[in-house]
Chains A and B, each alone.
Chain A
Amino acid sequence: MQVPPQFEYERATSIEQALELLARLGPEARLLAGGHSLLPMMKLRLAAPEHLIDIDPLADELGYVREQDGELRIGAMTRHRELLDSELLRRRAAIFADAERVIADPVVRNRGTIGGALCQADPAEDLSAVCAAVGARVVIRGRDGERVVVMPEFHRGPYETAVGEAEMVTEVRIPLSPGFGSAYEKVERRVGDWAVAAAGASVRMDDGEIARAGIALAAVGAGVTSAEAEAALAGRRPSEEAFAEAARLAVEHCSPVDDQRGSAEYKRHVAGELTRRALRRATARALREEG
């Protein structure tokens, strides 16, 4: 029987209270959002925080998807299920629906949150790649105020983020522009499993050319974005050759390892193929005006 190690339990009913508790309880305190990464880790003794601060009561306040000031804004406690069901996201950033359909299973999706997923920063986490691919910015709040960081700065490495000790993520922001399109492609061994490899892509089309591209990979090593692959597409007309080159550059920068989900070589191959497919689909969507 797997049970979490002992801890003291606190419940935060406001963001301010959560931040206060984090500051007061110090580094041995952790936030509990959906608990679908943290509780399994605690059962395995990979994590043993002395205090858990349950932010379940913030699910209403921080559970939303809306459009504001030319951005999509997603509250940190928005659950996978809400991301999948959001009409707004489907219309404006279809990459979320692509990814959510294949993140875990419908029951897990009823609990897991976007804030928890990004803060977990598991290298196989799909939403980190999704957010990186669309150029998302993450709002981190502390008692002294907010800062907004871009994904490459937020995601410091496996299980490591820019969130400080007495801080929390409150919102994710996705810039919108005309001619925007996005897509996500994932290969998994069976329903509900983590990716063997996955790729997210976004493009902003301007006058038939790719003005800006975003590419991010999941499950193939630490660095999720490839600036070179993105730069290789800027100013080019979409073509199979351009996509293939970008995919080649993207996989050059990844570092998959052999494990039960496949060999490093196989994952590299899959990541390249999925990058091409994601770029193709993102471009098709952009030309149909997703943004």
Chain B
Amino acid sequence: MQVTVSVNGEERAREIEPRLLLVHFLRDVLGLTGTHWGCDTSNCGTCVVLMDGRPVKSCTVLAASAAGHEITTVEGLERDGVLDPVQQGFHEEHGLQCGFCTPGMMLTARALLDENPNPSEAEIREAISGQICRCTGYATIVRSIRWAAEHPAAAGAAAETAGEAAP
């Protein structure tokens, strides 16, 4: 069947099998391997992408069902070479070790901050509670998201400073 899905702001039309899951559409058909794929059973959350701004487990969504929705993957977080504050937060606060859970964690963080720009630690922990990290013990992930909340225009501000510095 023919499907057209908007991924990171770009319309992508492809011929697919109806049973193709969104995670495989993104990784294997579009080559966007930033979306990871783990448990296959909607438990681990490494496959999380945003669907109309809300996190969903892409191993449990048909690519066909994504038609007409706006999908954002981790590749869509960076804008014009500028990192999203969430990405910068994970960098500043060491929010990852092996990086397997990271794309899903960052997208959930982005969705959380879009709705609640100043979340408490408890709200952050609740938001990521459907996603498993086997490395960090979550503490640095929580700190990374707090960092992003405290620096909402982090990347933009950095770019501005750079602009000022170069007369």
Interface size class of B (residues with CB under 8 A): 20 to 34
Q: CB distance B54 to A81 under 8 Å?
A: yes
The minimal Cβ–Cβ distance linking A54 to chain B, given in whole angstroms, is 6
Whole-angstrom distance between the Cβ of A278 and the nearest chain B Cβ: 23
Given that A2-B40, A107-B56 are known contacts, is A35 also in contact with B61, CB under 8 Å in the complex?
Answer: yes
Tell me whether A35 and B55 are in contact (CB under 8 A). Answer: no
Is A72's beta carbon under 8 Å from chain B?
no
A45 → chain B closest CB, angstroms: 12
B19 within 8 A of A: yes
- Which residues does chain A contribute within 8 Å of B54, judged by CB atoms? 81, 110
Please determine whether A35 and B41 come into contact, CB atoms closer than 8 angstroms. Answer: no
Q: Does B35 contact A (CB under 8 A)?
A: no
The CA of A43 and the CA of B1, in the complex, are separated in Å by: 20
**In-complex Cβ contact of A32 among B1, B48, B65 (8 A):** B65
Q: Does B144 contact A (CB under 8 A)?
A: no
Cβ of B130 and Cβ of A105 under 8 Å apart?
Answer: yes
Q: Give B33 Cβ to nearest chain A Cβ, in Å.
A: 15
**CA–CA, A104 to B126, complex, Å?**
12
Binds B, one of A6-14, A151-159, A170-178, A210-218: A6-14
Report the nearest B residue to A51, measured CB to CB: B18
Instruction: Indicate if the CB atoms of B19 and A3 lie closer than 8 Å.
Output: yes
Minimum Cβ distance to chain B for residue A216 (Å): 26
Least Cβ distance of B1 to chain A in Å? 6
Tell me, in angstroms, the Cα distance from A54 to B61 when the chains sit together: 11
A155 to B130, CA, bound (A): 29
Is the CB–CB distance between A192 and B130 below 8 Å? yes
Chain B 45-60, CB within 8 Å of chain A: the 1/0 string? 1001001001111001
Indicate with 1 or 0, residue by residue over B92-136, a CB within 8 angstroms of chain A CB atoms.
Answer: 000000000000000010000000000000000011011100000
Question: What is the CB-to-nearest-CB distance from A66 to chain B, in angstroms, rounded to a whole number?
Answer: 22
CB distance from A84 to the nearest CB of B (A): 11
CA distance A191 to B68 in the complex (A): 32
Smallest beta-carbon distance B110→chain A, Å: 13
Q: Could you say which of B19, B42, B65 contacts A54, with CB atoms under 8 Å apart?
A: B65
Contact call A36/B64, Cβ cutoff below 8 A: no
Cα(A9)–Cα(B62), bound, Å:
10
- Distance to closest chain A CB from B89 (angstroms): 20
Structural contact, A32 and B62, CB atoms closer than 8 A: yes
Q: Is A26 an interface residue (CB 8 A)?
A: no
Most buried by A among B18, B42, B67: B42
A99 nearest CB across to chain B (Å): 16
Asked if B45 contacts A39 (CB within 8 A), the reply is: no
Question: How many Å lie between the Cα of A269 and that of B159 in the bound state?
Answer: 61
- Cross-chain contact A43 with B18 (CB below 8 angstroms): no
Q: Which of B43, B56, B68, B108 contacts A111 (CB 8 A)?
A: B56
* Residue of chain A at shortest CB distance from B108: A107
- Quick one: closest B residue to A5, CB to CB? B19
Q: Which of A7, A81, A104 contacts B18 (CB 8 A)?
A: A7
In the bound complex, what is the Cα–Cα distance between A11 and B68 (angstroms)? 12
B78 in the interface (beta carbon within 8 A): no
From A40, A54, A191, give the contact of B41 (CB < 8 A): A40
Residues on B lying within 8 angstroms of A by beta carbon are 1, 17-19, 21, 24, 40-43, 45, 48, 51, 54-57, 60-62, 64-65, 67-68, 108, 126-127, 129-131
> 5 new A-B pairs (CB below 8 Å) besides A6-B19, A9-B1, A191-B130?
A2-B41, A9-B18, A81-B54, A106-B108, A107-B57
List 15 interface pairs A-B (beta carbons < 8 Å), by A numbering.
Answer: A6-B19, A9-B62, A9-B64, A32-B62, A35-B62, A39-B60, A39-B61, A40-B41, A104-B130, A105-B131, A106-B127, A107-B48, A108-B57, A111-B57, A111-B61
Question: Which 10 pairs across A and B sit closest by C-beta, in order of nearness?
Answer: A105-B130, A9-B18, A107-B130, A2-B40, A4-B19, A110-B54, A107-B55, A191-B129, A56-B65, A39-B60
